[in-house]
Structure 1
Amino acid sequence: MRQIPVDTSAASIMAAQPPQPKVANRQTGEIALDRETGAKLMTVDVMFVLDGNAEIMTVVIPESGVPADLAMGTPVALTGLVARPWENEFNGQKRHGISFRAVAVTSLADAGAKAA
């Protein structure tokens, strides 16, 4: 699968929603697992601000890379962020988009408090 590294160095990023388990099957409630490691996957909605434009994007992160106390509005850094184009067909309708995946999300709130 193609992966495109995302440079976040010029952007401001903050948690828009608390982390949630990524659901693999909405009917059964089955939680998604990483295909390679078997790790439970989480989704984190973040606000990505660059050049005065803000976008909300959902990032999939292994549970081990998500701090338990990550709160809405917390400034964060995304480690190893990549974009993955996807396409599928469901009920005869073609759909496509871009999904985002990261190795970890780290709160920058603690770093700012320590620097002050």
Structure 2
Amino acid sequence: MRQIPVDTSAALVMVAVPPAPKIKDRRTGEIAVDIETGAQMVTVDVLFAANGEAEVLSVAVPKPGVADDLVMGTPVALTGLMARPWENEFNGQKRHGISFRAAAVTALAAPVKG
């Protein structure tokens, strides 16, 4: 499947929702694992702001690549961020979108406290 590298150098990226296990099957609660390493996957929702626009992206990351100190508002770096278009069909309905995956998410500074 095609993967597209995402340049984050001109973007402001911060944690919107702290890391949580990535669920593979909602019916069973099975947690997704990295096919290459077997590491558990987590999802980190980040606010991605660039070019005068902002969007929340859900990024899948192998658990060893996620810093322990990520809380809402923490500015972060996304190492090896890739976008992957996907498409599937369920009950006759086609769905499509873009999934995001990074090798690591690390804090750049302490979160801003209000």
TM-score greater than 0.5 by the shorter chain: yes
| Matches of 2:11 and 2:74, distance apart in 1 | 14
Identity of aligned residues (%): 70
Whether the 8 Å CA contact 2:86–2:96 is kept in 1: the answer is: yes
The number of residues matched between the two structures is 110
Structure 1 unaligned residues grouped into runs of 5+: 111-116
| Mapped pair 1:58 → 2:58 | yes
**How far does the alpha carbon of each residue in 1:1-59 deviate from its partner, in whole angstroms, 9 at most, with x for none?**
11000000000000001100000011111100111211100000000000221100000
1:81 matched to 2:74? The reply is no
The runs of 4+ residues in structure 1 deviating greater than 4 Å are none
* Distance in 2 of aligned mates of 1:94 and 1:32: 23
Amino acid at match of 2:60: V
Whether 1:90 aligns to 2:104 is no
Greater share of helix residues, 1 or 2?
A: 1
Instruction: Give the TM-score, by structure 2 length.
Output: 0.94
Matched AA of 1:79: T
Match for residue 105 of structure 2? 105
RMSD over aligned CA atoms reads 0.8
TM-score by length of 1: 0.92
